[in-house]
A and B are shown apart, each in its own frame.
Chain A
């Protein structure tokens, strides 16, 4: 057996990790999921960056991050559920949100 063939044989014999078994069974990550996930990470990052400057309401975050308010609302609430974002003060009938730790 040649040196070049040996790694291929080893790779062939190596059992798949369970996560690889599931991934193969699912046919990998779908294109839609990939786009959805990347977009989601981008929005979370944009919101957290905007909040570094201080507390903001959902409409203010939407304007600053160039998103529509309903989408911003969902993502802010997801961050709130994770504990990354907390309520701050009330402003003109809206709640302001800030990064956790910045509320004091």
Chain B
């Protein structure tokens, strides 16, 4: 594994699609980039999605080439499983303090063969599958992980030593410890991505109480060909669902849960998932209960009409409450907004809450750039310089600045990279024209 150098031109915090794109755009211009991610693999949320809207491209098929390009780029150094402890402005530059978390193996000799994972006797819920699937205490994050290296979680280890015994390259190193490293960078791009609104934010929806009330990202994994079940099944009992409901605006446009804004993508991802369910399960009934459908982007309105034409029911109704009944089925109490507001109860096998987007990371305590009231990074020149933060030389890309879809995240990443490059050029220009001191 390459050591952290004394200096880089740019630090990109976050290895999701926005961070990867920003790093590539800077690297292609000849700048040296340090791309840092706190997870053991880059790829962010996108690498775990099934298909993207509205094209229904395989998400990992379009994401992994960019991931591989970043990993092999001569100007980009990938630093996964690393936390950014602090970023402090020093003149025009930034001093960065990093914590390199231990994988408990030598990354240079690990060949990603997976033998250690197969030998480990401990099964734990897999974060990549949002708890629905399993992994071992030592594991490779997923088949598309970059780097394709294992990581051991010592809190889950039973200290049997089996992984060490089976490793063909003897790369397991139980004595590894976290390391601190510092470096100086010329500019910073924050691309720390998203998390969805926590499933327990609205207790009346039973998000963490009822096993058949799912998060949309868990449904992405269930629909994926490399998902936890191999096909679409109910988490409670493995039943093939015959009637599925989507509850829109479940974690957005709601002051009571502290998420008053629209998360922009929920209508589209719900329509996409609903359409794919109609393809995956013959004759399944899928109903979207919405307040309004927001299909804002290129081809989105056409996609919405296609989804309805292919049999997905789109009903203007606000879900007030979800109750679990016999056999782990769910009853939704719905106010039908298009029918004089009458209240009905509808029974479904499975419910997906279309949760909103929130920032995955907050800068407080790490970097002195301000947050907006909604928790995303404040962009004081939002109209003309949307990647500028409140700190000179620090830029933002992707959902870290606010909810957006993948195309907008990539466009913004390009803008942030250009702004960062301009900042670097200006800093270098200023350094070159320093007036020499007069000798007396």
Q: A77-B132, A94-B240 are in contact. Are A22 and B122 (CB under 8 A)?
A: no
Report the Cα distance A77→B129, complex, angstroms.
Answer: 12
Per the bound structure, the CA–CA distance linking A69 and B222 in Å amounts to 18
Q: How far is the CA of A65 from the CA of B280 in the complex (A)?
A: 31
Select one of B156, B211, B237 contacting A33, CB under 8 A. Answer: B156
A contact residues around B123 at 8 Å (CB): 40, 78
- Tally B residues with Cβ within 8 Å of A: 35
Interface centre among A23, A25, A74 (most CB of B within 10 A): A74
Which residues of B have CB within 8 Å of A21?
A: 174-175
A100→B122 CA distance, assembly (Å):
21
Complex CA distance for A57 and B237, rounded to whole angstroms: 9
Among B104, B155, B235, B239, which residue has the most Cβ atoms of chain A within 10 A? B239
Q: Which residue of A lies closest to B349 (CB)?
A: A93
Binds A, one of B158-166, B404-412, B415-423: B158-166
The A14-38 residues at the B interface (CB cut-off 8 A) are: 17-23, 25-26, 28-30, 33-34, 37
A69-B155 in contact (CB<8A): no
Judge if A95 is at the interface, Cβ distance under 8 Å.
yes
Among A17, A26, A87, A93: residue with most chain B CB under 10 A: A93
B169 to chain A, nearest CB (A): 15
B164 touches A77 (CB 8 A): no
Contact residue among B122, B155, B236 (Cβ-Cβ distance under 8 Å from A70) = B236
Residues 66-102 of chain A, each 1 if its beta carbon lies under 8 Å from chain B, else 0: 0001101110111011100001001001110000000
A93 touches B134 (CB 8 A): no
CA distance A62 to B239 in the complex (A): 13
Whether A58 is near chain B, meaning CB under 8 Å from some CB there, is: yes
B174: A residues at CB distance < 8 A = 18-19, 21-22
Specify which chain A residues have a CB less than 8 angstroms from the CB of B121 in the assembled complex.
Answer: 37, 41
Interface pick from B87-95, B226-234, B392-400: B226-234
A42 to B240, CA, bound (A): 27
Name the distance in Å between A31's Cβ and chain B's nearest Cβ.
13
Q: Point out the residue from A33, A72, A82, A94 that lies within 8 Å of B155, measured CB to CB.
A: A33
Please indicate the chain B residues that have their CB under 8 angstroms from the CB of A58 in the complex: 237-239
**Are B134 and A73 in touch, CB under 8 angstroms?**
no
Q: Which of B148-180 contact A (CB under 8 A)?
A: 154-159, 161, 164, 172-175
In whole angstroms, how far apart are the Cα atoms of A30 and B239 in the complex?
Answer: 35
Contact between A37 and B122, CB atoms less than 8 A apart: yes
Q: Which residues on B sit within 8 Å (CB–CB) of A78?
A: 123, 133-134
Are B132 and A69 in contact (CB-based, < 8 A)?
no
Q: How far is the CB of B128 from chain A (nearest CB, A)?
A: 12
Does residue B242 face the partner (Cβ distance < 8 Å to A)?
yes
Q: How far is the CA of A36 from the CA of B75 in the complex (A)?
A: 45
- Say which size band chain A's interface belongs to: 35 or more
Closest to A16 in B: B175
List B contacts of A23 (CB < 8 A).
Answer: 159
Which residues from B are CB-within-8-Å of A73? 233, 235-238
CB neighbours (8 Å) of A34 from chain B are 158
Q: Are A93 and B155 in contact (CB under 8 A)?
A: no
User: Does B154 contact A95, Cβ atoms closer than 8 Å?
Assistant: no
**Whole-angstrom distance from the CB of A67 to the nearest CB of chain B?**
11
Whether, in the assembled complex, B261 has its beta carbon less than 8 Å from a beta carbon of chain A, the answer is: no
Q: Is the CB of B237 within 8 A of A70?
A: yes
Report whether B236 and A93 are in contact in the complex, using a CB–CB cutoff of 8 Å: no
Interchain CB contact under 8 A, B161 and A19: yes
With A19-B161, A22-B154: A81-B237 Cβ-Cβ less than 8 Å: no
Q: Name the distance in Å between B271's Cβ and chain A's nearest Cβ.
A: 26
B330–chain A nearest beta-carbon distance, Å: 14
Residue from the list A17, A20, A26, A70 in contact with B154, Cβ < 8 A: A26
If A77-B132, A77-B229 touch, whether A93 touches B173 (CB-CB below 8 Å) is no
Say whether A18 contacts B175, CB under 8 Å: yes
Identify which of B104, B125, B228, B242 contacts A22 (C-beta below 8 A). B104
Q: Given A57-B238, A69-B236, A33 and B158 touching (CB < 8 A)? A: yes
- A25 contacts across to B, CB distance below 8 A: 154
Contact sample, A vs B, 19 pairs, CB 8 Å cutoff: A18-B172, A19-B164, A21-B175, A22-B154, A22-B159, A23-B159, A26-B157, A29-B157, A33-B156, A37-B158, A40-B122, A59-B238, A62-B237, A69-B237, A70-B211, A70-B328, A78-B133, A81-B134, A95-B240
* Beyond A33-B155, A73-B233, 7 extra complex contacts between A and B, CB < 8 Å: A33-B158, A62-B237, A69-B238, A70-B235, A74-B125, A78-B123, A94-B239
Interface, chain B (partner A; CB < 8 A):
104, 118, 121-123, 125, 132-134, 154-159, 161, 164, 172-175, 211, 228-231, 233, 235-240, 242, 328
- Pairs A-B, 3 closest by C-beta atoms: A58-B238, A18-B174, A78-B134
